[in-house]
Structure 1
Amino acid sequence: MIISRKIELDYGHTLPNSFSFCNQLHGHRGVVEATVEGRMIDKKGDAQEGMVMDFKFLNDIMMTHIHDVLDHGFAVWKDDHEDLEFITRRNKRVVITNEPPTAECLAKWAFNQIEPHLPANVSLINLRWYETPNNWADYTGEEE
């Protein structure tokens, strides 16, 4: 059985090597969708009987490890020294990435943020990061 949960957050980033407007400091209203897979709980009387996991628990994990880390914050590339210095001096919520903070990079980051916190019987099979309503990246946990 497969279930998904979405959360929303506001974040900023810059892609210094980009040829478009993305090389400017700017922000997005992001949507993050986690899709998990597992067997439905069949233990009689269990509060989660008939569920893979309670949506509330998945939401709590996503809010704690993605939203509360990056919402109204900035994702900045560790090799972007000029912006990194400015952003870390100015902002309390900063995610420093190992590669330019594209939708692809942020999908991978978010996947790694929540996967360790899922119940043992549940697997994260996809993390979708919507940078805009029309642009998103999917990460499945498999390296390129």
Structure 2
Amino acid sequence: MPKIRVTKRFHFEMAHTLHGYDGLCRNIHGHSYNLEITLIGEPRNQPGHPKDGMVMDFSDLKHIVKSQIVSRFDHALMVNRLVSEEQIALLQKTSERVLIVDFQPTTENIAAYIADILQQHLPEEISLFSVRLFETVTSFAEWLAEDND
């Protein structure tokens, strides 16, 4: 059976700040992120099964990505744990959705973080092929499984 790739696109709004950065992105700012998730697998070959011919039902993929990524990231502020506790406390007073992460929240690192999260929630017979995260309409970072084996 041939391997087939399927991709679904998502969108969320999120702010971040780059701790210690030497440019404007050290300031809190936001992006309209576009996310493409590509899976690879063999289409189900079970005539009569409601999911026959599918690698994964797009609605199932949508549920996983919305619950694990979009609902957590949308309209949140992502900050590096290296930001002082005092500053984080101030941010939490003005925002209910502050995501504190153990990495610099660049688009590159966020793409890898998304890949780590999704791999834990996919069915065993389906693999994550790529995560493509657009920070702007002209700039994106891409995580590929083949580069991370």
Q: State if a TM-score over 0.5 links the two structures.
A: yes
* Stretch of structure 1 that moved more, 74-83 or 33-42: 74-83
User: SS of the residue aligned with 1:11?
Assistant: strand
Q: Deviation per CA, 1:63-97, whole angstroms, max 9, x where unpaired?
A: 00001001001111000115433323332223222
For residues 91 and 51 of structure 2, the distance between their equivalents in structure 1, rounded to whole angstroms, comes to: 42
Match for residue 8 of structure 1? 11
- One-letter amino acid of the structure 2 residue matched with residue 100 of structure 1: Q
Equivalent residue pairs, number? 144
* Aligned equivalent of 2:88, options 84, 88, 93: 84
Which runs of 5 or more structure 1 residues have no equivalent in the other structure?
Answer: none
Identity of aligned residues (%): 28
Match for residue 134 of structure 2? 130
Match for residue 110 of structure 1? 114
User: Which of the two has higher C-alpha Rg?
Assistant: 2
Q: Deviation per CA, 1:16-35, whole angstroms, max 9, x where unpaired?
A: 32222111111000011111
**Is 1:33–1:128's contact at 8 Å kept on the other side of the alignment?**
yes
**Is 2:15–2:28's contact at 8 Å kept on the other side of the alignment?**
yes
Match for residue 73 of structure 1? 76
CA drift of 1:116 comes to 1.2
* Aligned equivalent of 1:19, options 18, 22, 33: 22
**Is 1:107–1:128's contact at 8 Å kept on the other side of the alignment?**
yes
User: SS of the residue aligned with 2:96?
Assistant: coil
- One-letter amino acid of the structure 2 residue matched with residue 116 of structure 1: Q
Match for residue 124 of structure 2? 120
Match for residue 63 of structure 2? 60
Q: TM-score, normalised by structure 1?
A: 0.91
User: Segments of 4+ in structure 1 off by > 3 A?
Assistant: 141-144
Q: TM-score, normalised by structure 2?
A: 0.89
CA RMSD of aligned residues (A): 1.7
**Is 1:4–1:33's contact at 8 Å kept on the other side of the alignment?**
yes
